[in-house]
Amino acid sequence: MSRLERTIGLVLRVGVTASTVALAAGLVLEFMSAPGARWLLHAGVLTLLATPVARVTVSIAGYIRERDWTFATLTAIVLVELLASAVAALVFNKRL
Amino acid sequence: MIFAAGAVSGGFGALLGIGGGVLLVPFLNLVLHLPFTVAAAISLTTVIATSSSVSAARTGKQLINMRLGMLLEVATAGGSLFGGVTAQLLAQSTVQKIFGVVTAIVAVIMLTRLQRRNVILDPTIDPGVLGGRYHEEESGGTVTYRVKRLPLALVASFVAGNMSSLLGIGGGFIKVPVLNAWCGIPVRAAAATSAFMIGVTATAGAVIYYGIGQLVPALAAAAVLGVQLGSWGGMRFGQRASAKWLKLLMAAVLFAVSAVMFIRGIR
């Protein structure tokens, strides 16, 4: 297994585990109407959304290290597309 | 309630190798009466979770073709961005009609693939930059393949990405048959690579829903936990169940969902 593959596997595993724990804890607090529930739930969702972004970022770094410029560029385009969707969300937010 | 729905759709998804979104979205929209955009946002969140946990478990087994995946992600993320924007502009009834048509297509694809076709592979083939090879446990041999008709794969990925964020589904059912039937990729590698890609695809859509405030964290949390439990159970049960009957049952359910969704869209 290549170094990049191992790193990607690790990023995905850590991201999913962290967000699942946060979401589960947040849901339990929500049922008890305890403070901090909202914060934990948002943190869990954001961690989940950040996981693929982190995976793409790690891939760019990996391809640069391997001097694979074609794939470094392609992966960078994917990252730009993900950032563009965040920008699109902000634009809609202003207008609505 | 949403937790249970997540568990059921996650279980079926894992059994059939398709995302559970195609079942979860209609349930949230038609039974629980959540707006379509809210239902789609919840479902996309579960898609990210499933994709990430399944791919994390699969890395190192060479089944995921990462290079091909990253290349096709350029198309799926672009399609998803476009679909997420479109979802905000279309009326709910229009999206419901599209959902009805797309689910009917999924059901037809599922029926035509009851007898899964085996690709005959030449082990001496050069996989090239995008191809791959993996060890197949059933036959004990090494499967080597080369990617054909890349432009077609890119178009299919764009459409899959578009449908993904518009309808709140993974989109694997569009990519996997195309990659398998026309692009020379063995079905297991196609499915694993697609599952790897849909995390990024769904994120491009989910970020838009989240930014607008249509992604309700508490509901998403219940669905994500349910789907995680369901897909775990589905994989356990999957080894024993008859795939053919499951697919027939699933196709029947999909036709019903498709009809109900379409009729709701017309009214």
ipTM comes to 0.92
- Token pair listed for B4: 């249970």
B206-247: pLDDT as tens digits: 999 999 889 988 889 988 888 888 777 766 665 555 667 767
Is B221 at the interface with chain A, CB within 8 A? yes
Tell me the C-alpha distance between B162 and B201, whole Å: 9
Residue of B nearest to A54 (CA): B200
Section A10-20 average pLDDT: 94
Q: How would residue B24 be classed by pLDDT, with cut points 50, 70 and 90?
A: confident
pLDDT of residue B251: 80
* Residue B58: HSE in the Cβ half-sphere, 13 Å Cα cutoff: 21
Mean of all residue pLDDT scores within chain B: 82
Q: How many residues does chain A have?
A: 96
Beta carbon pairs, A and B, within 8 Å: 152
Residue A13 · residue B56 · CB < 8 Å: yes
Is A58 at the interface with chain B, CB within 8 A? no
Section B38-45 average pLDDT: 92
Q: Residue A53 belongs to what domain range? A: 3-95
- Asked if pLDDT for residue A33 goes beyond 70, the answer is yes
Tell me the C-alpha distance between B5 and B11, whole Å: 10
The residue among B1, B72, B158, B212 with the most chain A CBs within 10 A of its CB, best to mutate, is: B212
Q: How would residue B12 be classed by pLDDT, with cut points 50, 70 and 90?
A: low
pLDDT of residue B237: 65
Q: Which residue has the tokens 């995008």?
A: B130
pLDDT of residue A78: 95
Minimal Cβ distance to B52: which of A16, A30, A90: A16
Minimal Cβ distance to A78: which of B73, B211, B218: B73
pLDDT of residue B240: 57
Tell me the C-alpha distance between A26 and B238, whole Å: 31
**Is residue B184 classed as helix, strand or coil in its secondary structure?**
coil
- Asked if pLDDT for residue B105 goes beyond 80, the answer is yes
Section B9-30 average pLDDT: 73
The residue among A23, A53, A77, A79 with the most chain B CBs within 10 A of its CB, best to mutate, is: A23
